[in-house]
Amino acid sequence: MRIVLLGAPGSGKGTQAKKLVAKYGIPQISTGDLLRVAVRDETPLGIKAKEAMEAGELVSDAIVLDIIEERLKEPDAFYGFILDGFPRNIPQAEALDNMLNTIYQPLEKTILIDVNLDNLMRRLAGRRTCADCGQMYNIHTSPSRLTEVCDECGGKLIQRADDNKETIGHRLKIYSSQTEPLISYYKQQSKNIVIDGSGDVDTIFNALTEVLDPLVKSQQQIEAKTEEKEVSKTETTTKAKKKVSAKKKVASKKKVSAKKKVAAKKKVSTKKKVAAKKKVSAKKKVAAKKKVSAKKKVASKKKVSAKKKVAAKKKVSAKKKVASKKKVSAKKKVAAKKKVSAKKKVASKKKVSTKKKVAAKKKVSAKKKVASKKKVSAKKKVASKKKVSAKKKVASKKKVSTKKKVAAKKKVSAKKKVVAKKKVSAKKKVVAKKKVSAKKKVVAKKKTKR
């Protein structure tokens, strides 16, 4: 229910609005209360509104519309509201209609509480308001039980600054000139309802409820229909969701079966791949073994050939040693023969000299000289021959030692070559074994992963 209460100042709009809030549970949006709170809190809008209120003028449309727009955005105004004191002129009414249409809450009814001028003056002059809760009293028609004390909260009752006779008269003139044209504005929209406001509070309230109850019932029916539509929509959406979920289930089952088929095919293909890899690995192992055996044969052949070479070299060196020894023995024999021949010559010469001594003693001295000379020459010859033979022995020994050194070096080089070849063959064996073990590990890992 979205309504506006219209009426002159003092017609009882605020009082009736509070009773309607209690009955229907929708908020009252009183521009007067909103402005008084803004003035009390000294907000920027409240300061501007205070100046106009104290001068007895209406607050500007821009200020009031800003305050109402903020209030309508609160959650309690979503299902309905009661506007009290606004709009007061046609431009405000047009601006309000535009705003409510934009938020999809158009105005449904306007209710005019009609009171004559004398009653208005009497009500306004005797009106008192609680400073704490905003409860309104009138010292003439509805006074509080205790003077200037609120019956609801015990707060102090005050008279508003604009409730004196001069201000009241000015406000009523403004109402008649600006606010009364609203009645014809809302009549054209078939929204205006007039209620007699000259009776007491309860009489006026009963008249209001007789008008508003049908509106509330129709709105409740509309709300029930909308709820039914929403329920039907939710049911249709749930059915559609169920169908979609069923289709999704079927599709998921198909996907699962397709995935299982794909997985089975993958298993078969992986098994085939594993078998093929095993065959390849077996072939590689056989090839590797063949390579290893071939390398071993080559290495054994190389060892045999190396041994043969070493044996041949040993034979050659032995033959050389035998030849050198034969040469040395031959040379020694020659030297010995030379010594024997020299000794024989010396002995023969001695015999000749002795014979000459016996035959001719005279010639002894001469012969002795000759013999001595011969001995000296013979000794010189023997010494020279000994030197030559010694030099030859030294030379032959040097040759033998150099030959031995060369043979020893050859043996060492041959042994080094054999050792190097052994090392190379050993390294090749180790590399081949590592390759074979690495391939075995790779095959084992692939088996474990599968």
Per-position DSSP letters for 248-263, written without gaps between them = HHHHHHHHHHHHHHHH
Which one of 2, 109, 123, 171 is the catalytic residue? 171
Nearest Cα to Cα of residue 154 among 135, 138, 140, 141: 135
Nearest Cα to Cα of residue 195 among 384, 6, 438: 6
Rounded Cα–Cα distance for residues 365 and 367 (Å): 5
Task: Indicate if the alpha-carbon torsion angle 389, 394, 398, 400 is positive or negative.
Answer: positive
Q: Cβ distance 115 to 35 under 8 Å?
A: no
* Residue whose structure tokens are 């000759």: 370
Active site residue 128: no
Which one of 2, 109, 123, 127 is the catalytic residue? 127
Rounded Cα–Cα distance for residues 105 and 81 (Å): 10
Active site residue 13: yes
Indicate the length of the chain as a whole number: 450
Active site residue 36: no
Instruction: Report the amino acid identity of residue 403.
Output: K
Rounded Cα–Cα distance for residues 363 and 297 (Å): 92
For residue 264, count other CB atoms closer than 10 A to its CB.
10
Report DSSP state, residue 60.
P
Contact residues for 363 (Cβ-Cβ < 8 A; gap 6+) = 356
Which one of 36, 88, 123, 367 is the catalytic residue? 88
Which one of 18, 48, 160, 291 is the catalytic residue? 160
As annotated, the active-site residues are: 13, 88, 127, 160, 171
